[in-house]
Amino acid sequence: AAKAAGKSAYRTCTPALRESAVTRAELIADLRRAVDEGQLHLEFQPIVDLATGAVRSAEALVRWRHPRLGLLSPARFLPLAEETGLIVPIDRWVIHEACRAAATWRDRRTEATVAVNIAAAHLRRPDLIATVTAATASAGLAPRALTLELTESALIDGSEAVLDRLRQLRELGIRISIDDFGTGYSALSYLHRIPATELKIDRSFVARLDTDARAYATVEMVTRLAGAFELSVVAEGVETERQHAAVAAIGCVHGQGYRYGRPAGLAQLHTALTRP
C-alpha cells in the first residue's frame, strides 16, 4: 500500500511542477548572489505635474537580469525575496542606487525628487533610518529629495515603533508616500497617525475611471482627502488621454503612468527632465 501511495504521490508531481520547484529553490540561491554580482538594476518612471507636464519626481523600480532566465520583473522575484528576508539587502541596495541616480539629475539643477519602495519587513527594522541617512549622505542628496513609498498593508500593523520610525524619518526631511492607496484595509483614522506627505491612488481605480462611477468617486474622494490633509496626491497607472483628462478634471495634482512615460533607464529620465 505504501508503495502504491508513493507511486501515486510521484505521479501527481507533474514534470511542470517538479520544474517549478527546482526553479524556486534555484531562484532563491541565485537571488542571494544577485546583489553582489551586480545583476540588479533600476528603471525610473517619471511622476509629472498634470497641469504642466513637468517631471516632478521619478519612482525607482528594481529589475533583475538573471544570467539564464533573462530580465525578471519585481512580481517574479520580490515575493521570494520577502519570504527569505533577502528583500532587506535588496531594498538597501535600491535606496543607495536611487540616491546616487537622483544626485546625477539634481546636478542638472532640477528639483525633481526620487521615490523608492520599502518592503514591510524593512519598515520593521530600526536600521532603516541608518540606511536612509547613509544613502542620502554618501550621494550628497538632501533628505527632502527622497520619498519612501509604503503600502497600506505595510502600515496597517503599524506598531508604535514603526510610527516612531516614520516620525524620525519625517524629522530628517524624508518624504513618506502611501502607495496603492485605497486597496488596503486601512481605516481613515490611520491617516491621522501616519506622518505621510503623499497619497498614490492605486491604478485599479484609474483604470476603471471611464466605466465605473464608483471608481470615479473613489479618485475624487481620495483627491479631496489629500487636499484636506495637505498631502500631495498622485494618480497611478494613467495610460490613456481620457484617463489623463479625468484625473486632471478631478483636481489630482500629479500623475504617473504610460501616458507620461514608461519605466526606463537613467539616460531617458535625464531627457524627460530637460524637456521644455
What's the min distance (Å) between Cβ of 63 and ligand C2E?
7
CA distance 188 to 64: 36
- Residue reference for cell 490611520: 190
Determine phi and psi for 149, rounding to 5 degrees.
-95, 125
Q: Which of Mg ion, ligand C2E, none does residue 250 bind (CB under 5 to 8 Å by kind)?
A: none
Alpha carbon distance 9, 21 (integer Å): 15
Least distance in angstroms from the C-beta of 247 to Mg ion: 15
**Of 96 and 203, CB closest to ligand C2E:** 203
What x-and-dash track marks residues 53-72 binding ligand C2E by CB under 6 A? Answer: --------xx----------
The entry of Mg ion, ligand C2E, none that residue 119 binds, CB within 5 to 8 Å by partner kind: ligand C2E
Query: Which of ligand C2E, Mg ion, none sits in contact with 78, Cβ below 5 to 8 A by type?
Result: ligand C2E
CB nearer to Mg ion: pick between 38 and 79? 79
| DSSP structural state of residue 263 | S
Q: Minimum distance from CB of 254 to ligand C2E (Å)?
A: 13
Quote the Cα angle for 92-109-201, to 5°: 55
Q: Are 203 and 237 spatial neighbours (Cβ–Cβ below 8 Å)?
A: yes
Residue with smaller CB distance to ligand C2E, 182 or 257: 257
Stretch that binds ligand C2E, among 73-81, 159-167, 185-193, 220-228 (CB under 6 A): 73-81
List CB contacts of 13: < 8 A, sequence separation 6 or more.
none
Nearest distance in Å: CB 115, ligand C2E: 8
Q: Which is nearer to ligand C2E, 143 or 237 (CB)?
A: 237
C-alpha to C-alpha distance for 62 and 234, rounded to whole angstroms: 20
User: Is there binding between residue 84 and ligand C2E (CB under 6 A)?
Assistant: no
User: What distance in Å separates the CA atoms of residue 133 and residue 135, rounded to the nearest whole number?
Assistant: 5
User: What is the helix, strand, coil percentage profile of the chain, to 5?
Assistant: 50, 20, 30
Residues in region 133-162 near ligand C2E by CB under 6 A: 149
CA distances from 243 to 92, 210, 227 (A): 34, 7, 20
177 touching ligand C2E, by CB under 6 A = no
Minimum gap (Å) between residue 101 Cβ and ligand C2E:
12
**Residues engaged in binding ligand C2E (CB under 6 A):** 45, 61-62, 73-75, 78, 87, 91, 94, 117-119, 149, 179-180, 203, 237-239, 256-258, 263
